[in-house]
Amino acid sequence: MSSNIDLKRGLDIPITGKAAPFISKTIVPDIAAVRPGDFNGLVPRLLVSEGDKVLCGSPVLADKLHPEILLTSPISGTVQAIVRGEKRKLLSVLIKSDLEGACAEFDVSGAKTPEGIRDLLCKSGLWPWIVQRPYGTVANPDARPKAIFVSSFNTAPLAADNEFAFASEIQYIQAGIDALALMAGCPVHLGTDGSLKDSVFDSITGVEFHKFKGKHPAGNVGVQISHICPIRKDETVWTVSPAGLSAIGKLLRKGRLDLYRAVAVTGPMAIEPSYVRTIPGMSVSELAGYYGNTPENIRIISGDPLSGRKCGIDGYLGFFDTQVTMINEGTEREWFGWIRPLRYKQFSTDHCYFSWLTPWRKYDMDTNIHGGQRAFVMSDPYYRKVLPMDIFPIYLAKACLAGDIDRMERFGIYEVLPEDLALCEFIDPCKNEIQDMIAKGIDLMRKEMA
């Protein structure tokens, strides 16, 4: 079964620095980090101490709520440091590579039954690839999802092109999908890019295809779910990214943990943007060749510029991220920006400027927010034009601000993650942090509904 869905609303942000489709190098990082902060809803319990030797695939952390869920080391080496923040919150476990590449062997012969697959994924540290909706947390192994959703394409600005990144990994993705379908016993929906004539994902079997055509956020799995079968109260669905499926497939085929994947190094400040092959947790300083000699003024983001995480040159690539973006910190101040008629170098979707008349142009965007923060002035439809979902974004954001559970429920908190409203935040003339409001609303829901 397949369906075609045309999404009219959305916005592709014209930012320079798209990665050229070739792998410029494979990075075997010297230091890799396991960051519990990458996983929503996971309460980490430390399983190693400094100086311990670990293999690629050895457990490093476990979830306190579901002790069977493990986080494992992406490389072999020694635990160099355990980094804690305020109130001794565990921030990351740093592992120094011994360059031997020794891997823990997993017995995949048991992965013929739902329980066997579940145990294998938990043990190997691949379970956290399965994200549960509502709320976008690490999936509960005991839950029975209604369906599994996979989006095969990214529409976020400068995002990695999955057609290129996974061209040679379709067999693993197929193996991953088969295993998850068997384990969960529910349909798998695959959202593909309807603007492509043929996609490498077309050959996948055992899924329901849905072709989505449209601008960002058409590739966000949350938007796709809301058009395929929206999430209602007390329902659970799972989402997995192609990178996760590929890692699961490789584990099943090879019996070893292999997290290497193509990561797009992008952004206006990236020197010769292209792809690298690397693992999650890679130290960003490994990308020194891409940001040049003056990293002080560059913001390095693990993820896309709309909803990625600021990580800095001493940071680490996020577990789920297949993109690193480098943009200039925009601290320069422009004279009379609000009245200058053209502001040729700035992009705006609003017709108060003229950049909408030159849709072919790309812009060297920076991190300046171009204004001061204000209360919401514009009305809901202003934001809705970039959100192809049947919800009222500003009503939802205000309900989250007010902490009003009933209204959050009515306005669709179960269906969104902050990333789905990232474009609303981008175009907001009042410069509100809408994603943060939604994230806090989701946290409140999780606390209250637990």
Partner 1 sequence: MNKIFEKGGKLWWLHSTADAFDTFLKVPGTVSGKGSSVRDAIDLKRIMIMVVIALVPAALFGMWNVGYQHNLTLGDGRLQILANFWYGFLHVLPLYLVSYIVGLAIEFGSSQIRGEEVNEGYLVTGFLIPLILPVTTPLWMVAAATAFSVIFCKEVFGGTGMNIWNPALVARAFLFFAYPNQMSGSQVWIPNPGPDAITGATPLALDGPAQYGTGFWDLFIGTTPGCVGETSVIAILLGAILLLWTGVASWRIMLSSVLGALFVGGIGQMAGVTGIACWEQLLIGGFAFGTVFMATDPVTSAQTNCGKWFYGFLIGALCITVRLFNPGYAEGMMLAILLMNTFAPLIDHVVVSCSISRRNKKFNAA
Restricting to residues 430-449, name those near partner 1 by CB under 8 A: 430-431, 433-436
Residue 435 CB, nearest approach to partner 1 (Å): 4
Stretch that binds partner 1, among 124-132, 174-182, 183-191, 368-376 (CB under 8 A): 368-376
Q: 440: exposed, middle or buried (C-beta count within 10 Å: 0-12, 13-18, 19+)?
A: middle
The reply on whether position 420 binds partner 1 by CB under 8 A is no
b (16+ CB within 10 A) / e for 20-51? eeeebeebbbebbbbbbebbbbbebeebbeee
Both tokens of residue 303?
A: 């993820």
Give the one residue of 6, 50, 105, 334 binding partner 1; rule: CB under 8 A: 334
- What span, in angstroms and rounded, lies between the C-alpha atoms of 16 and 438? 28
Omega within 30 of 0 (cis) for the link into 74? no
- Closest approach, Cβ 433 to partner 1, in A, equals 5
- Give the separation between CA 303 and CA 309, rounded to whole angstroms: 6
Q: What does the DSSP 8-state code read for residue 256? A: S
438: nearest Cα among 430, 429, 446 = 446
Count of residues of this chain found to bind partner 1 when the rule CB under 8 A is applied: 73
325 in contact with partner 1 (CB under 8 A)? yes
- Near partner 1 by CB under 8 A: residue from 13, 111, 117, 269: 13
CB of 392 to partner 1, least distance (A): 6
> How near is the Cβ of 353 to partner 1 at its closest, in Å?
6
* Cβ atoms of 171 and 201 closer than 8 Å: no
- Write each residue from 374 to 393 as x if it is in contact with partner 1 (CB under 8 A), else as -, in one continuous string: xxxxxxxxx-------x-x-
Tokens of 344: 């040729």
DSSP class per residue in 136-194: TEEPPTT---S-EEEE----STT---HHHHTTT-HHHHHHHHHHHHHHH-S-EEEEEET
Q: Are 396 and 384 in contact (CB under 8 A)?
A: no
- CB of 29 or CB of 303, closer to partner 1: 303
Looking only at residues 146 through 165 of this chain, which bind partner 1 when binding is defined by CB under 8 A? 157
What is the largest distance, in Å, between two alpha-carbon atoms of the chain? 68
Alpha helices by DSSP H, listed for 166-311, are 170-184, 221-228, 242-254, 288-291
Stretch that binds partner 1, among 87-95, 131-139, 254-262, 372-380 (CB under 8 A): 372-380
* Least separation in angstroms between CB 298 and partner 1: 11
The one among 53, 89, 232, 362 contacting partner 1 by CB under 8 A: 232
Specify the residue, 32 or 298, whose C-beta has the smaller distance to partner 1. Answer: 298
For the CB of residue 382, give the shortest distance to partner 1 in the complex, in Å: 8
Candidate residues 93, 150, 276, 301; the one interacting with partner 1 per rule CB under 8 A: 301
Q: Which of 247, 327, 387, 445 binds partner 1 (CB under 8 A)?
A: 327
| Stretch 400-419 residues interacting with partner 1 (CB under 8 A) | 410-411, 418
Segment holding 422, helix H or strand E: helix 422-427
Task: Say whether residue 64 binds partner 1 (CB under 8 A).
Answer: no
Residues within window 345-364 making contact with partner 1, judged by CB under 8 A: 346-353, 355
Residue from 425, 441, 442, 445 touching partner 1 (CB under 8 A): that is 425
Distances (CA, A) of 433 to 136, 216, 372: 19, 19, 12
Q: How crowded is residue 163: how many other Cβ atoms within 10 Å of its Cβ?
A: 17
CB of 134 to partner 1, least distance (A): 14
Residue 59 vs 393, nearer CB to partner 1? 393
Q: Which is nearer to partner 1, 177 or 416 (CB)?
A: 416
